[in-house]
Chain A
Amino acid sequence: GNSVTQMEGPVTLSEEAFLTINCTYTATGYPSLFWYVQYPGEGLQLLLKATKADDKGSNKGFEATYRKETTSFHLEKGSVQVSDSAVYFCALSTHQLIWGAGTKLIIKP
């Protein structure tokens, strides 16, 4: 069946560090891929998406590239800020949305 695997958290970084959160997936067909972010006490917000192989989604300095050959959609940011502290969810969409377990990111000043 379809599934999403994310790196376990929490991930703790210092401000201005480079961020990678790994996400790999298993799916039949050609899913769309999403990254959602959840700030403390809030609902989920779409951070970025990609709908076909080699697409790059980007938003707020975050990027992720849809790699079909490695079935991956890793989230990256060149220089993180304290305000990026949140839980990040990778998800794939075929008929329904399949969620990864989430990765908590903690950025220290």
Chain B
Amino acid sequence: DAMVIQNPRYQVTQFGKPVTLSCSQTLNHNVMYWYQQKSSQAPKLLFHYYDKDFNNEADTPDNFQSRRPNTSFCFLDIRSPGLGDTAMYLCATSRDMGGEFNEQFFGPGTRLTVL
């Protein structure tokens, strides 16, 4: 089955220690997204890639970076995690953007805890 996979499912890191979360997709979708979600609140978009074009949300901290080396993989790097970065991180994909093409397919999420 075509899907979105995230690894690891759970990650514990220390304050200030860099961490990388990974996402892969078998849907061959053009767009990949990273969201941060706290306590069942609405997911907050951090950034997205349209193919190789990177789009950062204006309020995403500089501490958060992303890489998309190919169509299938996308990484979220947190350079110096703070306690406030404890959250669920969700990866999603969509075939395109705009209207019904924004139907997004989500991975199971990585629950990150910063100690």
Taking Cβ atoms with an 8 Å cutoff, the residues of A that contact B are 30-32, 34, 38, 41-46, 49, 51, 87, 89, 93-97, 99-102, 104
Contacts and interface: CB of A to CB of B under 8 A. Distances in A.
Given A30-B99, A51-B99, 18 more contacts: A31-B99, A32-B100, A32-B102, A42-B108, A42-B109, A43-B4, A43-B6, A43-B107, A43-B109, A44-B43, A44-B90, A44-B106, A46-B104, A89-B43, A93-B100, A93-B103, A95-B97, A99-B43
Q: Find the residue from A38, A43, A104 having the highest chain B CB count within 10 A.
A: A43
Contacts of B42: 89, 99-102
Nearest to A95: B98
Contacts of B101: 93
Contacts, number: 59
Task: Bin chain B's interface residue count.
Answer: 20 to 34
B40 A104 contact: yes
B45 A96 contact: yes
B104 A97 contact: yes
Contact of B100 (A43, A49, A87, A96): A49
Contacts of B102: 32, 93, 96-97
B74 to A, nearest CB: 15
Contacts of A94: 98-99
B44 to A, nearest CB: 9
A45 B108 CA distance: 9
16 contacts: A34-B103, A38-B40, A41-B111, A43-B6, A43-B90, A43-B107, A43-B108, A44-B43, A46-B103, A49-B103, A51-B99, A93-B100, A93-B101, A96-B97, A100-B42, A104-B40
A12 to B, nearest CB: 15
B110 to A, nearest CB: 10
